[in-house]
Amino acid sequence: MIGIIGGSGLEDPELLHNAKEVVIKTPYGTHSPIKKGEINGISVALMSRHGYKHEYSPSEVPYKANIFALKEIGCKAIIAASACGSLREDIEPKTLSFPTQFIDRTTKRDQSYCESNNVIHESMADPFNNDLRMLLTSATIKLGFTYSTETTVVTIEGPRFSTRAESELFRNWGADLINMTTVPEACLAKELKIPYQVINLVTDYDSWHESKEVVTFEMVMEIMKDNAEKLKKLVLEVLPQIEKKFS
């Protein structure tokens, strides 16, 4: 089974067949909604990260319960969609990006399953899965979508957007993208040994680009509609290759 975290654009009832909602009891509380079903005959678990009504803010997403639940129901790999801002002129809105690195600027989130008597010093030198990234990149090229890869995403706490000073700081650090959800998702998947790759759906230029409109939630949602259609096509294209690789 392949886990898909996101929800936006992937809750089309014609996309997921034999769908049923599943609830897993976890030691970490209630997880985000999961629909288990098939896409073109391939078993998937589709998780709506923020809830069906977007009730979870980025800091309130039950990340530990989410990744644990996907592991429990048998997910062998996870691809995760996430809206993001661009920190580079050449990474334009509506681009799909597949990062290789993240910078963590969150402050409130539990990033580990470690307990006092079971400390895990997990290597995070390469936080994302190279095989998943290559498969996603190849499928994106085949579909003719604009993309970038080998990028670095900085994850901020949210739900507010960055100040111009913060945005410029992240640019000076060498970050290419900015979002609110990749950490701790990637960290937790790594601890549970689940291959994980985020698909960043670029919606705006963050606040550094003074010649552009100041980013708003409404702006992000409007561009996400277009990106969601691309995401559906990408998922349909890449799932057979992911199943073959990770079965």
Of 110, 126, 176, 204, the active-site residue reads: 204
**Beta strand 177-179 pairing with 77-86:** antiparallel
In this predicted structure, the answer to whether residue 118 has a pLDDT above a threshold of 90 is no
Mean pLDDT for 144-151 is 96
Amino acid, res. 34:
I
User: Please, how many CA atoms are within 13 Å of residue 64, restricted to the half-sphere of its CB?
Assistant: 10
Band the pLDDT of 74: cuts 50, 70, 90. Answer: very high
What's the pLDDT at 9? 59
Structure tokens at 79: 């691809």
- Residues spanned by the domain of 174: 2-246
**How does pLDDT run across 181-225, given as a tens digit for each residue?**
999 999 999 999 999 999 999 989 998 987 766 666 666 667 777
Closest CA to 97 of 150, 155, 172, 55: 150
Q: What is the pLDDT of residues 84-106, one digit of tens each?
A: 999 999 999 999 999 999 999 99
Q: Average pLDDT for residues 106-110, to the nearest whole number? A: 95
* Percent of all residues in the chain with a pLDDT value above 90, rounded to a whole number: 79
pLDDT at 11: 65
The pTM is what?
0.93
The rounded percent of the chain whose pLDDT value lies above 70 is 92
Active site residue 131: no
> Any catalytic annotation for residue 204?
yes
pLDDT band at 120 (very low <50, low <70, confident <90, very high): confident
Residue, of 58 and 119, whose pLDDT is higher? 58
Question: How many structural domains is the chain composed of?
Answer: 1
User: Which among 12, 131, 206, 226 is annotated as catalytic?
Assistant: 206
Q: Are 166 and 215 in contact (CB under 8 A)?
A: no
Mean pLDDT of the chain: 92
Q: Give 25-58 pLDDT, tens digit per residue.
A: 999 999 999 999 999 999 999 999 999 888 999 9
Quickly list DSSP for 93-139: TT-EEE-SEEEEE--S------BTTB------SS-S-HHHHHHHHHH
CATH number at residue 213: 3.40.50.1580
